Structure formats: structure tokens, C-alpha cells
Structure 1
Amino acid sequence: MAGLHIRSVLVTGANRGIGLGLIQHFLEMPKPPTWVFAGCRDPKGQRAQELQNLASKHPNLVIVPLEVSDPASIKAAAARVGEQLGGSGLNLLINNAGIAHLTSLDNETLENMTQVYTTNTVGPLLMGQAFLPLLKKAAQGNPGSALSCSKAAIINMSSIGGSIASPFGFDLMQVVSYRCSKAALNMLTKCQSLGYREHGILCAALHPGWVQTDMGSSAGHTPPVTVEASVRGMLKVLSSLGEKDTGAFLDWEGKVVPW
């Protein structure tokens, strides 16, 4: 993680699983960010207890109420983060919040497709729009430097399940709405990389691996990758991302995932 020097980072879906793991690792960095923002639906609820415990020990951790399927919640979160940052910008936005339903082609529904797509694809779109002024401000603070996560970046947590070229795991779980939402998220990442490059903002999609989280284990199989290994790998990848990687779809080990 030697190459990752960020003043501020926001992680959505930060109260458990990969999101919580990322927050913990940012706080444990030799030179941790000045501000670590943890977005979650219910900051005072039981499911955010670990975040609350961390916040009591780390004054640079700010828990932000955030429901990524609600535009008003996103707008309020952007205002809250901007207020905390004062005149400085946001270096790194990690769109990690996501949902999945164990559905197949036969029982997929309009309601499921809409809910999953709204959270997994539209949410990151709206987050990028709402936090663009803060990301641009961070990029302007490093005017001469090349694209990097230390300057300004949007990282979208995708999945190999969204790869049209790879049938990975279809025999174990079809999760059609989830796969479609992640394929769309990959295209959103490409669009963001093209639209935000002129502002000095790097955009990339990451596959964290099949990770031992509530979501990863929901089909009754034990995933091969621990949260610890996934997060360590992804942070190493983030520290190495540059101009050539904007718009890319990579996994937690830095390998290119087929679109």
C-alpha cells in the first residue's frame, strides 16, 4: 500500500463484509487518511455496532447515514462529507454497497430486477454525480499529477458475475438480477472513466473475489477468499492504478477480468 496516499475516502455499505474490511484497513494504514467516511443505512442500528466501536477509537472515522437507492439520502451525505472536509476535496469514492437475491431465470421478477438494479447500478451513478464536485476539488489540488487513487478516483465494486464473457458460477447460482446489474455497472464505470477523465478522476471496476461474507455465502457454499485477503489485495491494486487503468475491470489480484 506504499503508493496509496489519500487524505480522504468514502466507502458505501461500510457496516459489514468487504466495506467494513476496507474501513478497518484504511484506519490501520501507517499514514491513515485524515478522514475516513463510512456510509451505511442505519448508523445507530445493531448492524452498525462494529462501525460504532471503531468510531469511538478513531476520531478520523465519520459514519454517514447513506441509502444509495435514495437520491435525497445521497444528496444529504454529499453535503455532510463536504462540510466535514472544509475546503478540501474527496480523493477516493468506493461504491461498495450492493444487494443480491437468490433468483433464477424462471423466478426472476420485475420487483427484484428493479430493486437490485437501483441499488447496484443507479446508486453508483447518482453517487458519482453527487460527489463529483468534491472529487474535482481533490483533483484540482494535484493539478500536475497523473491519474491515480491518491489524486481522485471512483472505484465501483463489481463482480465476475457481471462478466458477459465468463459463465463463472452460473451452475451454482444464477442470480440473474445481480449479474445484470453488475454488467450494467461495468458499462457505467466505462462511461464514468470517459466522462470524468477531463476532470482528473480515475474510474475503475473491481471484482473482490468470491468472498466469505453474508452475501457471498448466501447460496450455501463457502467462498474461497477471506475478507482480509480480498481487502489487502484490492488496496494493493488501488495503490498501483494509473492512467492506463481508467475504465478497466480488474480483480482483487490485479488481473484483467473479461468484459
Structure 2
Amino acid sequence: MSMLNARSVLVTGSNRGIGLELVKQLVEKSNRPEWIFATCRNPEGPGAQALKNLAAKHEGVVINPLDTCEPNSIKAAAATVTECLKGAGLNLLINNAGIVSPVSMEDETPENMSEVYRTNVIGPMVVTQAFLPLLRKASRESPQKGMSCSKAAIVNMSSEGGSITNLLGWEMGRAINYRCSKAALNMFTRCQSLEFAEDEILCVALHPGCTTGNFNKCNKFC
């Protein structure tokens, strides 16, 4: 984070957890971004109060509604960001929003699995598609050589829980839908990195570390 020198950053799922902490760290940087777009499903709800308090103290933090499961919501957020940037590109997109529905293998349902995939895999895909023109613009107009998060980048928040060789925390919680969705997100990120290589857009999946002690008692982890 200390090396980041981006003019604009967008974080999905920024009303709590990892997303909120990312926004907090961004505003505290000595060379903080000029624009920090903090998005969440319901900015007016009680769950976004901490984010609203943070935005009230720091100029340049723009809270936008963005539901990663609703294409119209994503398009509206992209239009708002485009207007704010006034012709500039978006340097860094952090696809952080994610869910888990802790059920056993026997109790898993197609509907439950589909909901988690829609948020954790399809959501980042549609969000990336909506903001890709701004990312490409940032990359084209940057004087920097090569790839970096300060130039143009997509960061997908993944988890070691999605690793096929190392199933992190298996004994603490199965979270089948979450693990499968993060494994799919990892492959999606790899495909992004190949697809956008010529655009010099950096694409990475990150495992941020465990954020809870028990998978079965949370609705978001790792």
C-alpha cells in the first residue's frame, strides 16, 4: 500500500470488513489517491454508517451504490465514476465484495451455490467489464512503463480457501460454495491477465489473510 501512487481507486464492498479497511488505509496515505470510490449495495443503510463517517472526514471519498449482482447498478456506478473523473481513467479496481453461505456438502443447494457464484465470480466479471474502458484509458495515458497498481490494475479479492492443493481451514469449516467460487475467481483472474496483457493492465488475485476465527459463524471470511 505504501508504494501505491494512483490518482483513482475503486473498492467494491467497502462498507465493512476488508473493503472498509482498504478505504481507511487509502485515506491515511501521505500520497493518497485524489479519488477514492467506495461502493456498497446500500449506502443509506445502517451497515454503511462507518463508511459514511469516514467519507465525511476526508475529501475525495465518494460513496456510490453498487450491487455486484445487478447489472443496472453497476452501469450506473460506472457512469458516475466516469463523470467524476472528467476524462481521466481509473487506475485501480479492487473487486472486494463477496459472500459465503456456510452449509454442509449434504445441505448445499443449486440456489445457494448460484447465489454465491453470482456475487463472487460473475459480479467481478461484470464490474470489470463496466470499468474496463476507464482502466484502458488510464493505462494508455500513463507515462509509466510496464504494469503496476499505480498505472492500471484489477485486484480480485480471493482466498487461500479456494486453493485446490491447500484447503485452508478445512477442519474449521467446509464452506463449499465459497471455496468453489474462489477457485473459479482465481482462474478468471488468470484469464484476465492474459486477455488484458496487451493493454498493460495488471490483473492479480490476492489472499488477504483470515479475518475470522470460525468459518461457520461468519458471512464473509478470508
Q: CA deviation at 1:2?
A: 4.0
What is the number of equivalent residue pairs in this alignment? 220
Question: Which of these residues, 204, 216, 222, is aligned with residue 219 of structure 1?
Answer: 216
Q: CA deviation at 1:218?
A: 5.1
The residue that corresponds to 1:123 in the other structure is: 123
The unaligned stretches of length 5 or more in structure 2 are none
Alignment map for 1:71-110 (pairs within 5 Å)? 71-110=71-110
Task: Give yes or no for the alignment of 1:167 onto 2:167.
Answer: yes
Assess, with a 3 A threshold, how the Cα gap between structure 1 residues 92 and 144 changes in structure 2: closer, same or farther: closer
CA-based RMSD of the aligned residues comes to 1.6
Helix, strand or coil at the partner of 2:198: helix
Query: Which string of whole-angstrom CA distances, capped at 9 and with x for unpartnered residues, describes residues 198-239 of structure 1?
Result: 111000000111114xxx655249xxx9xxxx9xxxxxxxxx
The residue that corresponds to 1:33 in the other structure is: 33
Q: CA separation in 1, counterparts of 2:157 and 2:90?
A: 18
Q: CA deviation at 1:86?
A: 0.6
% of aligned pairs identical?
56
TM-score between the two structures when normalised by the length of structure 2: 0.95
The residue that corresponds to 1:138 in the other structure is: 138
Q: CA separation in 1, counterparts of 2:19 and 2:217?
A: 21
The residue that corresponds to 1:150 in the other structure is: 150
Q: CA deviation at 1:3?
A: 2.2
Is the CA contact 2:157–2:205 (under 8 Å) kept in the aligned structure 1? yes
Task: Give yes or no for the alignment of 1:176 onto 2:176.
Answer: yes
Q: CA separation in 1, counterparts of 2:167 and 2:139?
A: 38
The residue that corresponds to 1:248 in the other structure is: none
Helix, strand or coil at the partner of 1:197: coil
Q: CA separation in 2, counterparts of 1:153 and 1:91?
A: 6
Helix, strand or coil at the partner of 2:205: strand
Q: CA separation in 1, counterparts of 2:115 and 2:2?
A: 39
Is the CA contact 2:175–2:215 (under 8 Å) kept in the aligned structure 1? no
Q: CA separation in 2, counterparts of 1:217 and 1:28?
A: 30
Which stretches of structure 1, 4 residues or longer, exceed 3 Å deviation after superposition?
A: none
The residue that corresponds to 1:209 in the other structure is: 209
Q: CA separation in 1, counterparts of 2:217 and 2:104?
A: 15
**Mean CA deviation greater in 93-102 or 166-175:** 166-175
Q: CA separation in 1, counterparts of 2:41 and 2:144?
A: 37
The residue that corresponds to 2:56 in the other structure is: 56
Q: CA deviation at 1:167?
A: 2.2
Query: Which string of whole-angstrom CA distances, capped at 9 and with x for unpartnered residues, describes residues 29-87 of structure 1?
Result: 00110000001011111100011111111120000100001111111111111111111
